[in-house]
Amino acid sequence: MDTARQAEAASIPVIDFGPFLHGGAEDRRAVARAMRQASADWGFFYLSNHGVPADLLRRSFQASQDFFALPEAEKQSVAWQTASSNRGYVAVRRERLDASKPGDLKEAFNAGPETGPDDLPEEERPYRLNRWPAGHPAFRATVMELMDGCVAASNRVLSAFALALDLPDGFFVDSHDQLHHTLRLLHYPPLPEGFQPQGGERRAGAHTDYGSITLLFQDGIGGLEVRTRDGEWITAPPIPGTLVVNTGDLMQRWTNHVFCSTPHRVSPFTAAGSPDRYSIAFFCHPNPDAEIRCIESCADADNPPRYPPILAGDHLMEKLNATY
Ligand SMILES: O=C(O)CCC(=O)C(=O)O
Ligand SMILES: [Fe+2]
């Protein structure tokens, strides 16, 4: 189906994270229960009072605008090179999130947490280094400040997920402690008036995310669409002050579909036409050597494990190699 129903923002749950961060044990459990329900019904929810400072987000969106406004040659000087690194600049139409459709009408800049190269095994070093445009130290500083904020926020969400499944607090966080995450600045350039998408092209093709969870920050433009469990596409409009959390493929495998990995896409058109749109996604990836196997309490005789165990790193490489 090509059009999406305009959803009431309320149809995808909005969860207040404040009581989890600042409340007592019962408040924390109530938030975790709401997340469990939302992840089962939708695989998506909005989170308010998420703890990532508004001023940092404002500066990050500004840094993103400044980066994408650089001349193409400067952006290409830090071009994305390999799936194993997955860092650097990705030009318009370079990636196909829906492999059956033309390239996405977006450009992106990927970065990862910077562990000092000295801490890394020799063979990993070239893949763990970010690609920064020369002469823009403030860009790097802002992106890395946001990285830290997102690592902290995602760990808090992962610990709520553990509580939601009655698992020890560190169950998910400990499997993410090598910080193989990707922070991705996204820019969807304006499309000319009367633009006709060719061959089903979109700003981002329909896909599920690959990792455990994703935190997504949207600007005010809109365009994100989510497929409901009934197969209908609905809009996920921006809600000021919130971020969007969605569960990815590995979380779905881990929880045997208790938490679902929901297809989503970005439509070329919004009520405002197709102006510039910016978003920022933080993809959480478990440690590459983490074995993702069905959590015991998520399976029983009627619902046996649906997938064999897989190493998180193997899953990610398979997905990245299919979309570039
Ligand atoms: O830009 C957005 O709103 C969504 C982007 C997205 O789903 C992705 O990059 O995986
Ligand atoms: Fe996505």
Reported ipTM? 0.99
Dihedral sign (CA 43, 152, 111, 191): positive
Cα 248 to ligand 2 centre (Å) = 8
Q: Which is nearest to 281 in space by CA: 163, 191, 119, 153?
A: 153
- Euclidean distance between CA atoms 101 and 200, whole angstroms: 6
Indicate which atom in ligand 1 lies nearest the CA of residue 184.
9
Q: How far is residue 214 from each of residues 21, 28, 184, 247, measured CA to CA in Å?
A: 19, 21, 11, 6
- pLDDT, averaged in runs of 10, over the chain (324 residues): 60 96 98 97 97 98 98 95 88 89 93 78 77 96 98 98 97 95 96 86 93 97 93 94 97 97 93 91 96 97 95 90 77
SS (H, E, C) 157-194: HHHHHHHHCCCCCCCCHHHHCCCCCEEEEEEECCCCCC
Pocket of ligand 1 (CB under 6 A): 186, 204, 209, 216, 218, 224, 264, 266, 279, 281
| Ligand 2 centroid – CA 245 distance (Å) | 10
Atom of ligand 1 nearest to the CA of 246: 7
What is the token pair recorded at 84? 């194993």
Mutate to test the pocket of ligand 1, among 184, 266, 270, 319 (most ligand atoms within 8 A of CB): 266
How far apart are the C-alpha atoms of 25 and 33, rounded to whole Å?
A: 12
Contacts 24+ apart (CB under 8 A), 125-129: 126/85, 127/82, 127/84, 127/85, 128/85, 129/85, 129/87
**Distance of alpha carbon 303 from alpha carbon 299, whole angstroms:** 5
- Centre of ligand 2 from the C-alpha of residue 107, in Å: 14
CATH topology of domain 45-215+241-270+284-323: Jelly Rolls (2.60.120)
Q: 307, 253 in Cβ contact below 8 A?
A: yes
Helices (H), 17-100: 18-22, 25-41, 54-68, 72-76
- pTM reported for the whole predicted model: 0.94
Per DSSP, the three-state class of 271 is coil
Radius of gyration of the chain (CA): 19
Q: What local confidence, expressed as pLDDT, does residue 10 receive?
A: 45
pLDDT at position 9 is 43
Q: Ligand 1 mean position to 299 CA, how many Å?
A: 30
In the chain, domain spans: 45-215+241-270+284-323
